[in-house]
Amino acid sequence: MRGRKAEGARTKAAGKKKDMPQSEIETVQTTEKISRAEAAYRRRFDRHLDELKWLYMELYDNGPMFAELCDQLHCFYEERAKDLKKKDAEREKRPDWYKGNDMLGMMLYIDNFAENMQGVQEKLSYIKSCNVNYIHLMPFLDTPKGRSDGGYAVSDFRKVQPALGTMEDLESLTTACRKEGISVCMDFVMNHTSEDHEWAKRARAGEGEYMSRYFFFDNDAIPAEYEKTVPQVFPTTAPGNFTWLPDAGHYVMTSFYPYQWDLNYKNPRVFNEMMYNFLYLANKGIDIMRIDAVPYIWKELHTQCRNLKQVHTIVRMMRMIGEIVCPGVLLLGEVVMEPEKVVPYFGTVEKPECHMLYNVTTMATTWHTVATRDVRLLKRQLDIVNSLPKEYVFLNYLRCHDDIGWGLDYDTLHLWGCEERSHKQYLNNYFQGFEGESVSRGELYNADPVSGDARFCGTTASMCGVEKAGFEQDEEAMERALRRDVTLHAYMFMQSGIPVLYSGDEVGQVNDYSYKDDPDKAADSRYLHRGKMDWKLAEQISDKKSVAGRIFGQLDLLEKIRRSSQAFTVEADARTLDTGDDNVLGIDRVHGDEEILGIFNFSEYNKEVSVNGVEGTYTDMLTGEQLSPEKIPLPAYGFCYLARKHG
């Protein structure tokens, strides 16, 4: 009906233009299109204007700067390519486009994966063969060699690192991805710039206008005040939150590495310019902006300078700015904090901030469960996540480019007789392979000899025992390691949200120790799991006897199962189950008449599990066998997906 009506409208318009010369028809058509596009812009702008202005004036009380921002939003909209606007319109009609059970991400370093952007474009068929429809391209903007923090120290927000390509290559890659139905995510590092950024150079040279875009102090009185309340992010590699610049005769605030200078968002020029950078990059065809280190972007003396209310004002404004100019673009917040601090970054359902957030506590709790084989804390954590509104979409992952910080619920662990410091030590010992029967391999990150605190680095495969079993050529141990690895992925696919693979995990890539030979990387053990993609492994994915083939084949099966059932969508009702066994986690997902049970054995023992609170007969989705939930056989480190149709 709707289609016919639209057709009718077209015929009428065509009738009017019947006697016009072709050139005039084109002009009329263009004008009609422009006005339609303009109307869409106006509608979105008007929807947000009041709130945007209110928040901006509350923060900056600067009318001319707000007017400039509004003008620039329109300019960026005008510059936005037609096919991106088309995509925006489609996504506006289907705002839940990213919440389906078909979403699967992969994060990758462009150089490690395929040398450069053109290389990534040539490898899109491999990415598709991994069932991936969302890629996170790790930082690729210009950054100084040796002082890059893996690309998180940006020296030019409008230039690609020459070794990786150009802005044209980026556009070509995002265009190719769009054609293939792959969304592209990039990092937007808005907390700081590199000391090589033009603003930083001019600030260092003493230009007041640019000094005011950072935090400059000519003596240590105020820095010392800040140090009283601001914890350190990198206690061993970058002690203190300030760096003395002898040539400039000033201290500058550097929350991360000394070469990453914190931007001062109290200055509206900083906010405006960074929003222009955001829109410039969005216009290159980016679908998802990962806002790096977002809790840190507002600083206030005598506070911890984290999660301040102004941060939320800024993220909310960014969300509205995105919705006005490029509503197809999503914001993914990087908030590596405890759950109570993470969830506010979703904003409220009426006034949303980020579209997606990392499920960081669940990730850390997962590895705690691997080491302890005790699922109780994970069950609690999943219960918290499952009780949140379904509008809140989490990005689930096992490993990413960063270390694992042991941010666990220590209050609960304490009740169970587990003390924070010794537990962290146990986890770090376990994953280094020092504890009991541990088969894990990996290294500490930022080990602080004073507090005894440390975080952990390693790939999923190495942490599951693939590296050790491969080295020792122990086929039985390899079988167990692969089972553990696949079970962890199966469990991750069962969580609500979007699962993201870490490139290389799909073929069981192990730790890469070569970073120690590179003086630019040697001090940062996170490079252990940032190795080059081993394409020899990828060549083996069809060989079902190879390690790569076994992992790849099983993940492929799970990914297809995930796509086949609506019970895996974000909208499904998810809950954990009582399995009567602290080694075994049970998750139940129901959507409409579809139900899936996922049962995961974290222990080294074969089990027969009886799940409480569910009944009937289920079909094992991998073997096709009929099973009763009262008698589920599970091998050591194994899992099963059981399905049932209701009604």
What sign does the dihedral 265-266-268-269 (CA atoms) show?
A: negative
Closest by Cα among 503, 472, 394, 505 to 99: 394
Closest distance of CB 259 from ligand GLC, Å: 11
Closest distance of CB 617 from ligand GLC, Å: 46
Closest distance of CB 128 from ligand GLC, Å: 26
Closest by Cα among 138, 90, 410 to 290: 138
Give whichever of 152 and 568 is closer to ligand GLC, judged by the CB atom.
152
What DSSP letter does each residue of 173-211 carry, written as one string?
A: HHHHHHHHT-EEEEEE--SEEETTSHHHHHHHTT-HHHH
DSSP 8-state code for residue 643: E
Give whichever of 147 and 373 is closer to ligand GLC, judged by the CB atom.
147
Which residues are near ligand GLC by CB under 6 A?
Answer: 149-150, 152, 189, 256, 292-293, 334, 402
The CA distance from 446 to 588, in Å, is 38
- Which residue shows structure tokens 């007969």? 617
Give whichever of 189 and 567 is closer to ligand GLC, judged by the CB atom.
189
Closest distance of CB 231 from ligand GLC, Å: 14
Which residues, 6 or more positions from 271, have their beta carbon under 8 angstroms from its beta carbon? Answer: 59, 60, 265, 314, 317
CB-CB contact of 356 with 310 (8 Å): no
- Which residue shows structure tokens 């379904």? 390
The CA distance from 386 to 384, in Å, is 6
Give whichever of 460 and 565 is closer to ligand GLC, judged by the CB atom.
460
Give residue number: closest CB to ligand GLC: 152
For residues 264-302, one letter each, b for 16 or more C-beta atoms within 10 angstroms of the residue's C-beta and e for the rest, the string is bbbbbbbbbbbbbbbbebbbbbbbbbbbbbbbbbbbeee
For residues 109-131, one letter each, b for 16 or more C-beta atoms within 10 angstroms of the residue's C-beta and e for the rest, the string is bbbbbbbbbbbbbebbebbeebb
Closest distance of CB 195 from ligand GLC, Å: 13
Show the tokens assigned to 338.
Answer: 């405890």
Closest distance of CB 401 from ligand GLC, Å: 6
Give whichever of 101 and 307 is closer to ligand GLC, judged by the CB atom.
307
**Most distant pair of Cα atoms in the chain: their distance:** 87
Give whichever of 85 and 530 is closer to ligand GLC, judged by the CB atom.
530
Q: How many CB atoms lie within 10 A of CB 352?
A: 18
The CA distance from 351 to 248, in Å, is 43
Give whichever of 215 and 493 is closer to ligand GLC, judged by the CB atom.
215
H helix runs in 238-308, sequence order? 268-282
The CA distance from 266 to 281, in Å, is 23
Closest distance of CB 255 from ligand GLC, Å: 8
**Looking at 142, 149, 195, 334, which residue is catalytic?**
334
- Which residue shows structure tokens 């941010």? 407
Closest distance of CB 403 from ligand GLC, Å: 9
Give whichever of 364 and 490 is closer to ligand GLC, judged by the CB atom.
364
What DSSP letter does each residue of 334-368 carry, written as one string?
A: ---S-HHHHGGGGB-SSSB--SEEE-HHHHHHHHH
Closest distance of CB 464 from ligand GLC, Å: 23
Closest by Cα among 214, 196, 191 to 147: 196
**Looking at 292, 353, 524, 581, which residue is catalytic?**
292
C-alpha pair distances (Å), 417 with each of 71, 381, 386, 413:
59, 18, 26, 7
Give whichever of 169 and 292 is closer to ligand GLC, judged by the CB atom.
292
Closest distance of CB 150 from ligand GLC, Å: 6
Give whichever of 185 and 189 is closer to ligand GLC, judged by the CB atom.
189
Strand partners, 333: 291, 357
Give whichever of 398 and 572 is closer to ligand GLC, judged by the CB atom.
398
What DSSP letter does each residue of 208-249 carry, written as one string?
A: HHHHTTS-EESSSHHHHHHHHHPPPSSTTTS-SSEEEETTTT
Catalytic residue status for 334: yes
Closest distance of CB 482 from ligand GLC, Å: 29
Give whichever of 152 and 430 is closer to ligand GLC, judged by the CB atom.
152
The CA distance from 16 to 4, in Å, is 19
Helix (H, G, I), strand (E, B) or coil at 262: strand
Q: How far apart are the first and last CA of the chain?
A: 32
The CA distance from 576 to 383, in Å, is 7
Closest distance of CB 192 from ligand GLC, Å: 7
CB-CB contact of 226 with 305 (8 Å): yes
The CA distance from 586 to 375, in Å, is 9
Residues with catalytic annotation? 292, 334
